[in-house]
Amino acid sequence: MSTFDVINPATEEVITSVPSLSLEETDAAIARAHAAFPSWRAVAPGDRARLLRRFAAIVDEHLEELAQLEVANAGHTISNARWEAGNVRDVLDYYAGAPERHTGLQIPVPGGINATFHEPLGVVGIIVPWNFPMPIAGWGFGPALAAGNTVVLKPAEITPLTAVRLGELALEAGIPEGVFQVLTGKGSVVGWRFVTHPSVAKVCFTGSTEVGTRIMAGCAEQVKKVTLELGGKSANVVFADADLELAAARAPYGVFDNAGQDCCARSRILVEASAFDRFMELLEPAVKGVVVGDPTSEVTEMGPLVSAAQREVVTSFVPDGAPIAFQGECPQGPGFWFPATVLAPVAPGDRAVEEEIFGPVVVVMPFRDEADAIRLANDTPYGLSGSIWSRDIGRALRTARGIDAGNLSVNSHSSVRYWTPFGGFKQSGIGRELGPDALNSFSDVKNVFISTED
Ligand code: NAD
């Protein structure tokens, strides 16, 4: 059987290897999911809710094990990894409330009664990237299962371990065989089969805009439903009237969390010109204060990049002669380390200004006024996230309304709360995950008219 190695990014040691499934094995799993669908959709809403709650409870019991697995597989800091495992539990608990509440409408019409039903789609294929293996998986399978679908899920090649464990825990919780399967393997084989297989009713993809574009085109061939959560180049807009000390202290965590491998990373800091020099004075100690090192340590704030390949990509954004304003430190020796790096002043058109870096590198640029801030923030094909720092709440709200992005926060860098919708404008994606509406993207509305005429 073909396999691939899983490597610890902090030590470069091979942890284990996992199967790389063939097309035939993928088809067999899709067939099992298809066969499991009629009985799963027929499980009474209260029973489906109970199973999802039990799944959440079992994830909670294994929270530390899952977190340690993610530290070893993805190099996430232990504190982040615990939050991520907890997020899977919370998302399952949240959507466990859904089967009993996913109500339709009764609409007044002449001559009878009209009712709508939310019908599950069938088999849903979920394709997950390597940067947040647990939460992104959970945002897909939680609402998909709650809505009555069966799920085949493909983790990224290099970070499969927590997803595989979640698949085992689902069975332990009593989720029937075939309802939730984790398939390890290549994107071009397993992932692409979700796109081409006629029994997969929907593809839920999170990853690069480049692959997402191909997935959307492939799904179009069968008019297959698709949700895309793609890249970002988000802005952190700091007005001169903000609490500059707080804005500078928090700015590193808005971009360097998960070593910058975050689709919501605020990788462009835009600062009102009159406050630019003061902000940079405050930012330098904040960046140098980020604790980088052994991800198993409770005090570590930033670990390594996920792979040697990703370190090469990030390095290409900081070539010799790059305008480095200041840089933090990172361990030498084994591990895919890269220091927190601040670039300024940067020329417009610099790759670091325009492209998603997905590493701990940020550019800082001045703006003139509110209109200029909005223009610069929107000067990107992406539109996922962003932050606005100001004491003037009217201005902050106007700016938030002016920025074309799906998830904005004021005086905070929070992007993801499972109670609220998450997703992108422009080339950052299509559709929304999380929040009360996610169920609607895993079901179709059926309209039934019943005549009451004699
Ligand atoms: P990627 O697009 O290379 O891979 C993502 C997933 O798609 C992996 O599981 C991969 O195996 C699979 N895949 C690759 N080629 C495929 C194909 N032809 N058919 C089907 N599946 C295929 O992305 P990545 O490098 O793993 O992740 C980083 C990217 O993900 C970044 O661009 C980041 O911004 C984005 N991302 C977006 C969000 C969001 O919610 N918007 C969240 C996290 C990551």
Q: Cα of 108 to ligand 1 centre, how many Å?
A: 45
The protein residue with its alpha carbon nearest to ligand 1, atom 34, reads 231
The protein residue with its alpha carbon nearest to ligand 1, atom 10, reads 187
Which of these, 138, 127, 117, lies nearest to 433 by C-alpha position?
138
Q: Where in the chain is the domain with CATH 3.40.605.10?
A: 3-230+428-451
Helix, strand, coil percentages, rounded to 5, for the chain: 40, 20, 40
Contact predicate 423/209, CB 8 Å: no
Q: Is the CB of 191 under 6 A from ligand 1?
A: yes
pLDDT, position 437: 86
Residue carrying the six token digits 């019409």? 109
Q: Is the CB of 30 under 6 A from ligand 1?
A: no
Mean pLDDT of the chain: 97
Whole-angstrom Cα distance, residue 43 to residue 108?
A: 30
In tens, the pLDDT along 57-67 reads 999 999 999 99
The CA distances from residue 269 to 233, 377, 401, in Å, are: 10, 9, 18
Q: Cα of 228 to ligand 1 centre, how many Å?
A: 10
Q: Cα of 206 to ligand 1 centre, how many Å?
A: 5
Strand ranges in 128-276 using DSSP code E only, listed in sequence order = 150-154, 180-182, 200-206, 225-229, 235-238, 268-272
Whole-angstrom Cα distance, residue 413 to residue 236?
A: 8
pLDDT, position 415: 82
Give the mutation target among 234, 263, 420, 426 for probing the ligand 1 site: most ligand atoms within 8 A of CB: 263
pLDDT, position 411: 98
Q: Is the CB of 406 under 6 A from ligand 1?
A: no
Q: Residue 348 pLDDT more than 90?
A: no
Whole-angstrom Cα distance, residue 361 to residue 41?
A: 46
Q: Cα of 96 to ligand 1 centre, how many Å?
A: 27
Which of these, 308, 406, 421, 17, lies nearest to 185 by C-alpha position?
17
Q: Is the CB of 433 under 6 A from ligand 1?
A: no
Q: Cα of 134 to ligand 1 centre, how many Å?
A: 14
| Average pLDDT value for residue range 357-362 | 98
In tens, the pLDDT along 207-226 reads 999 999 999 999 999 999 99
**Reported confidence tier of residue 332, pLDDT bands at 50, 70, 90:** very high
Q: Is the CB of 156 under 6 A from ligand 1?
A: yes
Q: Where in the chain is the domain with CATH 3.40.309.10?
A: 235-417
Take residue 257 and report the two structure tokens written for it: 């969390």
Q: Which atom of ligand 1 is nearest to the CA of 129?
A: 26
Q: Tell me 175's DSSP state.
A: P
Q: Is the CB of 127 under 6 A from ligand 1?
A: yes
Q: Tell me 190's DSSP state.
A: I
**Reported confidence tier of residue 94, pLDDT bands at 50, 70, 90:** very high
In tens, the pLDDT along 110-158 reads 999 999 999 999 999 999 999 999 999 999 999 999 999 999 999 999 9
Q: Residue 280 pLDDT more than 90?
A: yes
Domain 235-417 CATH superfamily: Aldehyde Dehydrogenase; Chain A, domain 2 (3.40.309.10)
In tens, the pLDDT along 399-429 reads 999 999 999 999 999 889 999 999 999 999 9
Strands 268-272 and 106-109: unpaired
Give the mutation target among 158, 211, 229, 430 for probing the ligand 1 site: most ligand atoms within 8 A of CB: 211
User: Strand 225-229's sheet: what is its strand order?
Assistant: 180-182, 150-154, 123-127, 200-206, 225-229, 429-430
CATH 3.40.605.10 assigned to domain 3-230+428-451? The reply is yes
| Average pLDDT value for residue range 229-247 | 98
Q: Cα of 269 to ligand 1 centre, how many Å?
A: 25
Using DSSP's 3-state secondary structure scheme, residue 187 falls into helix
Q: Is the CB of 90 under 6 A from ligand 1?
A: no
Contact predicate 96/89, CB 8 Å: no
In tens, the pLDDT along 293-312 reads 999 999 999 999 999 999 99
Q: 312 exposed, middle or buried (CB, 10 Å; 0-12, 13-18, 19+)?
A: exposed
**Active site positions, annotated:** 229, 263
Q: Is the CB of 230 under 6 A from ligand 1?
A: yes
Cβ neighbour number for residue 255 with a 10 Å cutoff:
27
Q: Which atom of ligand 1 is nearest to the CA of 155?
A: 9
Q: Which atom of ligand 1 is nearest to the CA of 154?
A: 9
Half-sphere exposure of 202 (CA within 13 A, CB side): 24
The protein residue with its alpha carbon nearest to ligand 1, atom 42, reads 263
Q: Tell me 242's DSSP state.
A: S
| Average pLDDT value for residue range 356-364 | 98
* Conformational region of residue 71, where left means phi above 0, alpha means psi within -120 to 50, and beta covers everything else: alpha
**Reported confidence tier of residue 454, pLDDT bands at 50, 70, 90:** confident
Cβ neighbour number for residue 424 with a 10 Å cutoff:
27
- In angstroms and rounded to an integer, the radius of gyration of the C-alpha atoms of the chain is 23
Q: Is the CB of 373 under 6 A from ligand 1?
A: no
The protein residue with its alpha carbon nearest to ligand 1, atom 43, reads 263
DSSP 104-159: --EEEETTEEEEEEEEE-SEEEEE--SSSHHHHHHHHHHHHHHTT-EEEEE--TT-
DSSP 308-353: HHHHHHHHTTS-TT--EEEE-----SSS-----EEE-S--TT-HHH
Give the whole-number percent of the chain exceeding pLDDT 70. Answer: 100
Q: Which atom of ligand 1 is nearest to the CA of 229?
A: 41
Q: Is the CB of 359 under 6 A from ligand 1?
A: no
Q: Which atom of ligand 1 is nearest to the CA of 128?
A: 9
Q: Is the CB of 427 under 6 A from ligand 1?
A: no
Which of these, 134, 189, 204, 179, lies nearest to 20 by C-alpha position?
189
